[in-house]
């Protein structure tokens, strides 16, 4: 009898758990299918079909500014049934909020509705050399030091963390590794105060340098003050702003987004190509022409969506490609598209296939999955290789995104970011 009761309780618990997990899975799927932010172009009717049992209400104080399904509705009474296809149009730019309710009863999420002006960008696709200096001295980690007495010391243990930025030593600003080393040497063994930025907070730590057998003083911190590499220029706007890479510059050791103080992009020449293959991503090996003569522009911002800044007047004048309109997330379709890149001494459009689209904001740099189908590019590179990040993606004569990552196990496939994620970072 007791065993039957226990078995019944077990089945009831299992049933409840199943309901819980099914409910969670449905909620997660719906949340992933509805983006946190929707952009539409002013004066353009945008179509949507989410096919979700949700009711939306757009909060607007201006009567008649937004039209839903070709109908102007009174302010603060703009309602949308997301279970049916619908259209939205606005004559004016602005940011609105859309509250969503499940079955029209339960609060689900709030979506930002941004109405922006139409924008044209010049898709580039040419390789660039990238050089950036960190905003402070980046701490990679800490280690042991053997002192003059033969003992091991760890001066920065539990004081500095990987990803910290050292801004000052004893009140003196530092941005270069050589200056940092000179200031540590000049302490003559006395304690030093380090002003450190950890995440967004500034703290002060006190460290005791150790004199080594060579007579130099060290604090046992692995540090970095700059980095450089090869990437691809995605676009230049009609007012001279640029976007590149499609993903941020992260430190190779810590994996963290680097805080950039100064940065420049230069022309680069591709010298050779290491073809990608299963388990081994390929690479564009190039030469950076790092001089003022070959400087293209200055980097002002390093973000998770790419690097941004302004090109010089001379480079802006030499761009030959025609500007294209941007294509928003809802315009991107599965099927044929093109990436523009330079891997064979000339900028060429290569055919690709867009295999999946994720319009949620879960990962800004991986909203599109693409496969290289152009035999010319496959013959040259084996697919997507390191250095092609930032290659613009073009579909229906609109620039819709940029290449960001390659699949390690299949170099013919990779990720792309939506172009609207990148233009969010323009001035």
- The distance from CA 401 to its chain's CA centroid, rounded to whole angstroms, is 12
DSSP string computed for 309-363: EEE-HHHHHH--SPPEEE--GGG--SEEEEEEE-SSSS-EEEEEEEEEE--SSS-
Instruction: Quote the pLDDT of residue 60.
Output: 67
Q: Determine which helix (DSSP H) or strand (DSSP E) holds 381, and give its type and residue range.
A: helix 375-381
Query: Are the CB atoms for 411 and 276 separated by under 8 Å?
Result: yes
- The distance from CA 232 to its chain's CA centroid, rounded to whole angstroms, is 14
Query: Are the CB atoms for 355 and 370 separated by under 8 Å?
Result: yes
Instruction: Quote the pLDDT of residue 83.
Output: 85
Token output for 166: 């050292």
Instruction: Quote the pLDDT of residue 2.
Output: 63
Closest CA to 298 of 326, 263, 268: 263
**Dihedral (C-alpha) 365, 327, 375, 364: value to the nearest 10 degrees?**
0
> What domains lie within the chain, and their CATH numbers?
34-118 (2.60.40.420), 121-131+226-423 (2.40.10), 144-219 (2.30.42.10)
- The active-site residue out of 142, 237, 247, 391 is 247
Listed in sequence order, the residues at least 6 apart from 369 whose beta carbon sits closer than 8 Å to its beta carbon are 354, 355, 356, 357, 413, 414, 415, 416
Q: Mean pLDDT in each 10-residue stretch from start to end of the chain (427 residues)? A: 69 78 73 81 83 81 66 67 84 82 81 86 93 89 86 88 91 89 87 90 91 88 87 93 92 80 90 85 86 90 93 69 90 95 91 92 82 95 93 96 93 94 86
- The active-site residue out of 99, 135, 358, 374 is 374
Give catalytic status of residue 364 as yes or no: no
Instruction: Quote the pLDDT of residue 65.
Output: 67
Closest CA to 374 of 342, 345, 333, 339: 339
Listed in sequence order, the residues at least 6 apart from 33 whose beta carbon sits closer than 8 Å to its beta carbon are 50, 52, 359, 360
Give catalytic status of residue 247 as yes or no: yes
Give catalytic status of residue 51 as yes or no: no
Instruction: Quote the pLDDT of residue 388.
Output: 94
Token output for 207: 């460290």
Instruction: Quote the pLDDT of residue 61.
Output: 61
Instruction: Quote the pLDDT of residue 13.
Output: 79
- The active-site residue out of 389, 391, 405, 411 is 389
Give CA–CA dist 159/175, Å, rounded. Answer: 20
Instruction: Quote the pLDDT of residue 278.
Output: 81
């Amino acid at each position: 009898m007791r065993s039957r009761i226990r078995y019944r309780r077990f089945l009831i618990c299992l049933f409840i758990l199943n309901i819980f997990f099914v409910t969670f899975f449905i909620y997660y799927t719906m949340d992933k299918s509805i983006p946190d932010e929707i952009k539409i172009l002013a004066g353009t009717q945008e179509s949507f079909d989410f096919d979700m049992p949700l009711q939306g209400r757009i909060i607007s104080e201006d009567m008649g500014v937004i039209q839903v399904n070709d109908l102007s509705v009174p302010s603060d009474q703009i309602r949308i049934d997301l279970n049916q296809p619908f259209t939205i149009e606005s004559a004016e730019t602005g940011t609105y909020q859309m509250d969503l309710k499940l079955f029209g009863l339960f609060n689900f999420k709030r979506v930002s509705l941004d109405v922006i002006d139409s924008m044209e960008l010049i898709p580039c696709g040419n390789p660039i050399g990238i050089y950036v200096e960190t905003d402070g001295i980046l701490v990679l980690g800490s280690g042991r030091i053997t002192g003059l007495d033969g003992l091991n010391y760890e001066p920065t243990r539990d004081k500095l963390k990987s990803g910290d930025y050292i801004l000052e030593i004893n009140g003196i600003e530092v941005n270069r590794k050589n200056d940092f080393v000179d200031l540590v040497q000049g302490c003559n063994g006395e304690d030093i105060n380090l002003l450190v930025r950890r995440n967004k907070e500034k703290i002060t730590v006190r460290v005791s340098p150790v004199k080594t057998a060579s007579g130099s003083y060290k604090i046992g911190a692995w540090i970095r003050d700059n980095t450089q590499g090869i990437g691809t220029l995605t676009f230049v706007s009609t007012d001279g702003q640029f976007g590149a890479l499609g993903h941020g510059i992260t430190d190779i050791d810590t994996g963290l987004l680097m805080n950039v103080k100064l940065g420049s992009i230069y022309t680069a020449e591709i010298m050779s190509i290491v073809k990608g293959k299963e388990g081994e991503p390929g690479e564009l090996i190039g030469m950076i022409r790092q001089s003022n003569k070959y400087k293209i522009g200055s980097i002002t911002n390093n973000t998770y969506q790419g690097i941004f800044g302004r090109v010089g007047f001379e480079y802006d004048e030499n761009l030959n490609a025609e500007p294209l309109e941007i294509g928003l997330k809802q315009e991107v379709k599965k099927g044929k598209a093109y990436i523009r890149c330079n891997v064979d001494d000339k900028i060429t459009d290569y055919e690709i296939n867009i295999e999946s689209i994720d319009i949620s904001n879960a990962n800004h740099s991986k909203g599109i999955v693409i496969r290289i189908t152009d035999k010319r590019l496959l013959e040259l590179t084996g697919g997507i290789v390191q250095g092609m990040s930032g290659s613009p993606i073009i579909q229906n004569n609109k620039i819709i995104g940029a290449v960001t990552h390659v699949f390690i196990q299949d170099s013919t496939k990779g990720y792309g970011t939506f172009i609207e994620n990148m233009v969010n970072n323009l001035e």
